[in-house]
Amino acid sequence: MADFVFNNVKGEFKTMINNLGAANDALLIVFLETTGLEADATLRDYDALDALLAGASNEQTNQARKAVTTLVTSVVDDTNDKFWIDVADQLYTALNGNAISKTLFCYDGDTTAGTDANIRPVTAHDTVFDPDGTDVTLTINVLGLCAAL
């Protein structure tokens, strides 16, 4: 398992990030349970969150999805030919429920639509832990959430 950018958004994530702050859009953080988690090669091919969750992978729903609408930064790195995207570390209070092995960041262009069919998985990150009721800080890599290629 590894961190990756979903195939269907490569080259488009920069536009999504630049649009954050528009009416009703957000990055959503979704935890996937260890049990039933599909291989990265399978996960990266899903185009919408509803299809991903219809597969073998299970959303860990004890903690509600978190919407990130601010604190997203982006930097053009001409030296390394990348566009770095970052979000602030995220605090979860008293996280509990089934073991987690993957964290998804998904783009929802309209949070009022109320359907996972409109939510596009963007990045997936190995996040292995067993929630035990304590506070958890989801620490984003020091290099950033991802580099859009």
The residue whose two tokens read 């920069």 is 14
Cα–Cα nearest to 43, from 35, 34, 52, 32? 52
What does the pLDDT read at residue 3? 66
Is pLDDT larger for residue 13 or for residue 128? 128
What does the pLDDT read at residue 144? 55
User: In angstroms, what CA-CA distances link 142 with 39, 57, 66, 119?
Assistant: 25, 28, 21, 26
pLDDT tens sequence across 10-67: 556 666 666 666 678 888 999 999 999 999 999 999 999 999 999 999 999 998 899 8
Q: Which of 27-31, 48-52, 115-119, 145-149 has the lowest mean pLDDT?
A: 145-149
pLDDT tens sequence across 60-112: 999 889 988 765 677 777 787 777 777 888 889 999 999 999 999 998 888 88
Contact 96, 82 (CB under 8 A): no
User: In angstroms, what CA-CA distances link 125 with 23, 105, 110?
Assistant: 27, 8, 23
